[in-house]
Amino acid sequence: MEEEMNRISLFSSPDDYKTGILMVACMVLSWIFIQRWKQRNTKGPKTWPLVGAAIEQLMNYDRMHDWLVKYLAESRTVIVPMPFTTYTYIADPVNVEYVLKNNFANYPKGEVYHSYMEVLLGDGIFNVDGELWRKQRKTASFEFASKNLRDFSTIVFRDYSLKLSAILSQASFHNQEVDMQELLMRMTLDSICKVGFGVEIGTLAPHLPDNHFAQAFDTANIIVTLRFIDPLWKIKKFLNVGSEAVLDQSIKNIDDFTYSVIQKRKAEIEAAHESEKMKHDILSRFIELGKDPENSITDKSLRDVVLNFVIAGRDTTAATLSWAIYMIMTHNHVADKLFSELKALEEDWAKEENASLLQYDIEDPESFNQRVTQFARLLTYESLGRLYYLHAVITETLRLYPAVPQDPKGILNDDVLPDGTKVKAGGMVTYVPYSMGRMEYNWGPDASSFKPERWLKEGFFQNASPFKFTAFQAGPRICLGKDSAYLQMKMALAILCRFFKFSLVPGHPVKYRMMTILSMAHGLKLTVGRRA
């Protein structure tokens, strides 16, 4: 016993502790060195034991999309290990088609994505898989295919575009700066609430009332996006501290607005006379379906429907319009060609109808606004469809600035992508529209240039494969609202680019903000001029 105690005593001396610590440190450093040596010839970010590529990704978080561009230009597939999962980023259309279509069942949204986004999107169409997704998509596809909804949408989009035009007109006469992205977010929010939910919320009123819902929605969007690379978010959520505490308050504000919309719509339906024609907005359709007990549609389900369509119909469209205006005003030849196409539309209408265009004084607000209104009446679903250059400008904007810059999918079972990359169950595969639009192997040596002409052949618009141009996704989950989005964007840009010219406020920074939608971090501050 005494001998054993002596051995313990000797081992516990200060020098032995130091030696032991030194040996452990050497072992750890050797292990790290070996791991890094194994990866010396692999393409992709620096990875380390335990933390993976989290350090480099966190350091580049604010510019993550461009960070990925660098790596995907070197390799069409990039593997990024993280502490609790592994992301496989893909930019090759062959791999994208395999994930989004050919082996669709193996790449759902997945539990990881659902857990990150559930607090905001719940069990809505963009955050679920399986039967729940199929039911919502079937209902939504029925509505989007409706001619009644299309005709109603055309009127709503025109009305709100004119409201935006009136605000810009006033700004131009008073030499006021405007935040175009903020105005577009208001316009698209009002539009989706009217078209999708049958309610008027008036955020684009002339006095621009405070929009607490939109502010809370943007804050929540930023924080749930951060969750994808923040390994501590569950701890912060449990303790209700930091960003998760802010998120909790934002969700409360969002829910207050959303449930009020639902209750208002329900009350209107209940108050309607039996002889009154049922409104065809999307929310009303889901409310009617909820009357069947087999559908199990609760107010929470309706809340999720509303928020999923808000993020689809407000954020994506407004962000794309913001980038489009920025690209148009920084490419004068594009602005001029677009203006010429819109002027030609007016002249063709005058000839076909044997009518005359209103004469107007560009220095007189009333005269100017009357002329804008006359032009807006020419913008029908059919006439907008003939504006091929405008369509090309929007599409080229989406190629370089896709509304959804990256889209992760879960992996159910181990698999091998067409290029030979092995992916493991439980990881994530992310196709990256932002990078795909900038890859020379997809678009040629001018891939990084803004060139609407690439979409035209003999003056007519030509589509590209949806697995190469992925702004609206592809395969079974391809965006149902694509035509509606184009309709609204063409309506707004036709009016704005015909009657206004924009200049960036000197010194105003234009960069994206890291969130699920590619919006501008500091808005789009402009001065507005009028066109004759």
Q: What are the CA-CA distances from residue 259 to residues 4, 114, 254, 302 (Å)?
A: 72, 22, 9, 9
Residue 517, amino acid: I
Residue-number span of the structural domain to which 78 is assigned: 39-106+403-470
CB contact set of 517 (below 8 Å; sequence gap of 6+): 221, 311, 315, 316, 319, 403, 404
Residue 434 lies in a domain: yes
Nearest to 47 by CA among 1, 4, 82: 82
Structure-token pair, residue 243: 């960003």
Residue 288 lies in a domain: no
Q: What is the pLDDT of residues 492-527, one digit of tens each?
A: 999 999 999 999 999 999 999 988 899 999 999 999
Any known ligand binding at 193?
Answer: no
The total number of structural domains in the chain stands at 1
Question: Is 489 in contact with 522 (CB distance < 8 Å)?
Answer: no
DSSP for residue 512: B
The pLDDT value given to residue 149: 84
Q: What are the CA-CA distances from residue 39 to residues 32, 45, 72 (Å)?
A: 11, 10, 17
Question: Is 236 in contact with 119 (CB distance < 8 Å)?
Answer: no
Query: How far is the C-alpha of 197 from the C-alpha of 305, rounded, in Å?
Result: 10
Residue 426 lies in a domain: yes
Query: How far is the C-alpha of 401 from the C-alpha of 386, rounded, in Å?
Result: 24
The pLDDT value given to residue 146: 81
**What CATH number is attached to the domain comprising 67?**
3.30.43.20
The pLDDT value given to residue 31: 46
Residue 415 lies in a domain: yes
| Residue 200 φ/ψ, nearest 5 degrees | -105, 120
Residue owning tokens 């607005």: 257
Burial status of residue 527 (CB atoms within 10 A of its CB: 0-12, 13-18, 19 or more): middle
pTM of the model: 0.86
The pLDDT value given to residue 272: 73
Query: How far is the C-alpha of 87 from the C-alpha of 78, rounded, in Å?
Result: 8
Structure-token pair, residue 39: 């990866």
The pLDDT value given to residue 18: 57
The pLDDT value given to residue 5: 46
- Element (H or E) spanning 79, and its range? strand 77-81
Residue 196 lies in a domain: no
Question: Is 262 in contact with 222 (CB distance < 8 Å)?
Answer: no
Residue 135 lies in a domain: no
| Residue 451 φ/ψ, nearest 5 degrees | -140, 85
SS3 (DSSP) at 523: coil
Nearest to 398 by CA among 429, 436, 431: 436
Residue 334 lies in a domain: no
Cβ neighbours of 441 (radius 10 Å)? 13
The pLDDT value given to residue 39: 45
The pLDDT value given to residue 273: 55
Residue 245 lies in a domain: no
Q: Which parts of the chain sit beneath pLDDT 70?
A: 1-43, 48, 50-51, 273-280
The pLDDT value given to residue 22: 63
- Element (H or E) spanning 501, and its range? strand 500-504
